[in-house]
Structure formats: structure tokens, C-alpha cells
Amino acid sequence: MTDDHEPFGALRPATPPAALRDRALAAARAALATRPASPDVWTRVARNRAVRFGWAAVVAALALAHVVVSLPKPATRARAAVVSPRLGSGSAPELAPLVRMAAIDPAARGAGSGRSPADKENGS
Amino acid sequence: MAAVKYRRRIDAAGDDPYDAEAWRGLFRAIAGGRVEALERLYDLAAGRVYGLAAWRLGSAEDAADVTHDVFVRVAESADRLREVDDPRAWLLAVTHRLAVDHARRRRRHRTTPLEDHVFFEVDVSHRVERIAVTAVLARLPDKQREAIFLHHFAGCTFAEVGRITGVPTFTAASRYRLGLNKLRAILEGES
């Protein structure tokens, strides 16, 4: 099994010259002082990619939910079909509430035949 | 057991052992404009930065220029330092890129003789060894020397070496192994 550190023995890598510290830090301090002012926390939040992606996902989800909720339901369409012919047949306006009330209960569609439940039982 | 013994050699670049959380704290402080954090970062990291630049470029003068530019880059990028997860890798990646750019600008060729103190500290008691190993290291490709420094002296894993130098982990490990094997072969052949 080879020993990784054997080729270098006690040798240690070169270190930077002492004079470099002042030179490098002076230039870095100047760069730090002249950089544009750090953005405030709200600007940083707005620039954050994860936040922006999350915001876009929420907007898309809300838009989709709005579309789904806004779609007319099948029962509503059927009710409209039941109600519309009655209203369009020239019925008296005072009968419109009765028509609408009958439309609430799909089973009440049969009430439009004019036969009372008692008549239906007697077969007349 | 060999891995434990080897890991004791980490951070032999003359710096304090790497403390990621402490470095992240320094990065955040620099992002807040604190100059003393910049100075502390230099004291903690300059050895690794300079060493990587020296091993990549084979020149003490170029390594000093790159080290200077790295810390200027740290200051210029202060706003982004809060988002850095691994400060050591970030610093060394910046060093790598600046060293590559510097080499392209200077167009340094392998035939340029290297000073014998470029790679190692001047130590009278190991002078012969230092000169011999330096001469052999000079014959290695820059990328292999770089991989050896990062893994052996800067304490980076092969995955980190890959991220720093922009290559897959396997490539980083190959460069390290090839460089080390070549180094040993030449040293053993000459001895």
C-alpha cells in the first residue's frame, strides 16, 4: 500500500510573502469601500431565485384554481335547460318563481305534467 | 487506518484547520462590509490560495499576483458571499480560475526554469530534498500538480478538487494518482 505523503516527507508548501498581506488587503479594502451599497433585505428577497420561483408557482396554481372553479358544473347546465324552456314558453311572469322552485329539485320536473300525486295514484 | 493517518496531513498549507462554519461567518461579515473580517480571512486562507496559485503557475511572482486578485475578487463579490455554502471551495475555485487566466495572459511555458522555493518553504535542513522534489514537480503537467496540492496539502476531497477545477471527480482523482505515480517513479529512478 503506497503512502501518499511519503514523496514530500517533511516538506511544507510555500507560504505567501509577508509583504503581500498589506498589498492584497489594501486593494481588497478599497474594493470593499467602492462597491455599490448592499441591497436591503426586501430587495434581496425579491432577487432570490427560489422565492421568485415559489411566487410564480403560487400564481400559476391560483390561476388554475380560478379556471377550475369558474367552469359551470354539469348540474347547473341541466337546471338551466329545464328552466329556460319554461320561461320561454310565454308563462305568466308570476309563475317564474314557481318554475325556478321546481327546478331546484330535479325530481320535481315531473310536477310540470299538472298531475297531483293523488291523481297519479288514482291513475287519472 | 491509512485514511486516518493520511487525513492528519490535511491543511498542511500553513493555515489553521478548515472550519466551514467560521469561514461562513467571515463571509457574512464581509458581505456586511466589515473590514476586519477580510483581514481575518486572509490570515486563515492566504496559505491555501497562494500555494494553489504557486503550484499551478510555477512562479512565486505570479502566485502573489493571483493571491492579490483573489482577495480583491472576494471584496468585489461581497454581496454574493452570503449564499456561499463552502467558502474554502469557493475561494480555491476563484484562485484556480484566476491562475488559469493569468497563465494564458503570461503565456508561461514549461521550459521556463522554476525557482526552487516556488513549491515549498525554504528549509535549510531539507534543502536537498526540496530541490530534488521541486525539479521533478516542474516536469509534471500543471493540472496534475494542482490536483496534488489541493488533495494533499489543502485537504480537499477528490469531489471538491473536481468542483474547484471544473472536472469530474474521477478526472481529479486520476490527475492526482498519475502525478503522484510519476513523481515517485522519477524520484526512485534518480535515487
> Chain B closest CA to A54's CA: distance in Å?
18
Tell me the mean pLDDT in the region A2-28: 83
Are B75 and A29 a contacting pair at CB < 8 A?
Answer: yes
| Residue contacts between A and B (CB atoms, under 8 Å) | 127
Tell me the mean pLDDT in the region A16-32: 94
Residues whose CB falls within 8 Å of the CB of residue A74, separated by 6 or more in sequence, listed in order: none
Q: Are the C-beta atoms of A4 and B158 separated by less than 8 Å?
A: no
Which comes out higher in pLDDT, residue A96 or A91?
A96
Q: Is A27 on the interface with B (CB under 8 A)?
A: yes
> Chain B closest CA to A42's CA: distance in Å?
14
Kindly report which listed range (B12-16, B47-51, B61-65, B177-181) carries the lowest average pLDDT score. Answer: B12-16
Are A35 and B118 a contacting pair at CB < 8 A?
Answer: no
CB-nearest to B121 from A3, A12, A39 is A12
CA dihedral over A13, A19, A21, A26, signed as positive or negative = negative
Model pLDDT for residues B154-190, shown as the tens digit of each residue: 999 999 999 999 999 999 999 999 999 999 898 888 6
Which residue blocks in B19-168 are alpha helix, DSSP H? 20-31, 35-57, 60-76, 87-106, 127-139, 142-148, 158-165
